[in-house]
Amino acid sequence: MIGKTRQEPDQPRGILVPRFEVGQFSHQRQAPCAALAGLVEHYWHVAWDMQGHPPQAQETLPHPSVHLVVEKDGDGVFGVHTARYSRMLEGQGFAFGIKFRPGGFQPFLRAPLATIADRRVTPDSVFGEAGTAYVARIRACASADAMMPAAAAFLLERLPPPDANTDLANRLVATIAADASMTTVDALVAASGLNKRALQRLFQHYVGVGPKWVIKRYRMHEAVAQLQSDAPPRLAQLALDLGYFDQAHFINDFTALVGKPPGEYARQLTAPA
């Protein structure tokens, strides 16, 4: 049984390819300072070296978060991505990002986050010339250890005033993420004290997607984590624990997001290289 409370993961959740058999891949994370903790979940840095090896696909499941990303040859503010994210890793490269909390980017955007869902906008379109300067500063850093304080300084210079709705959106998404029994919007309505219409408005404005989407995505995160565990459950029990009425609906949802049925995904995890 999964149980009511989900375990806090030590490793990033939603990574569909948990390890590479060839080449080098690193993933670092760092928590923000106290002043930014209500807005930023963490800073992250990934680097890869596939030289001499064929390109490898990395796929991740979406989170209800906005990311400000700088790469060697690209940058952008990425709204909530509602589909599976795929990236072909080849040669050498890196990406550095700020992962904002679910409601954490709205005070910077000052518009409904639903307006940038499934979109990339340029840093200067949000931050003006300072956004362009930030990208250049991050690219000039010699390491991830230098990028993270540079990102913190950039945000601290633009720290928005407190917003109770940001905090509320963060708490409600955290409730969904932590409580495996939170499988319906009605359950979230009861937990939030808001009516359904107010809840929908809050999520569209501060999170960028509706509460039903967030609930379904965290169920899929839990499903992938369970299938990646050392003792994965039977699919029928997993579907039941995740709140599905039958295994077929679980398989359909999993396949639509991950791109393959859960049984096939589990077999590929254990297949020899």
Supply the CATH number for residue 262's domain.
1.10.10.60
The neighbouring-strand residues paired with 46 are 27, 95
Burial (CB < 10 A; 0-12, 13-18, 19+), residue 123, is buried
pLDDT tens-place string over residues 208-235:
999 999 999 999 999 999 999 988 999 9
Domain count, the chain: 2
Tell me: pLDDT of 15 over 90.
Answer: no
Q: Is residue 13 part of a domain?
A: no
Please check whether residues 149 and 260 belong to one and the same domain: no
Does any domain span residue 55?
yes
Q: Does 130 map to a domain?
A: yes
Q: Tell whether 112 and 187 lie within a shared domain.
A: no
Q: Who has greater pLDDT, 2 or 18?
A: 18
Please provide the average confidence, as pLDDT, over all residues in the chain. 90
One domain, residues 60 and 129: yes
CA–CA separation, 135 and 246 (whole Å): 48
Residue 12 has pLDDT above 70, yes or no: no
Asked whether the predicted pLDDT for residue 110 surpasses 70, the reply is: yes
Phi, psi of 83 (to 5 degrees): -110, 175
Find the domain containing 207 and state its range.
164-270
pLDDT digits (tens, 9 = 90+) for 20-59: 767 788 889 999 999 999 999 999 999 988 888 888 878 8
What does the pLDDT read at residue 34? 97
Query: Are residue 145 and residue 65 in the same domain, yes or no?
Result: yes
Rounded CA-CA distance 220/223 in Å is 5
135 and 216 within one domain: no
Asked if 208 and 117 touch (Cβ cutoff 8 Å), the reply is yes
Task: Please indicate, yes or no, whether residues 138 and 44 belong to a single structural domain of this protein.
Answer: yes
Model pLDDT, residue 37: 97
Rounded Cα gap, residues 154 and 104, in angstroms: 15
Residue 220, sorted as left (phi over 0), alpha (psi -120 to 50) or beta, turns out to be alpha
145 part of a folded domain: yes
pLDDT of 272? 57
Domain assignment of residue 15, yes or no: no
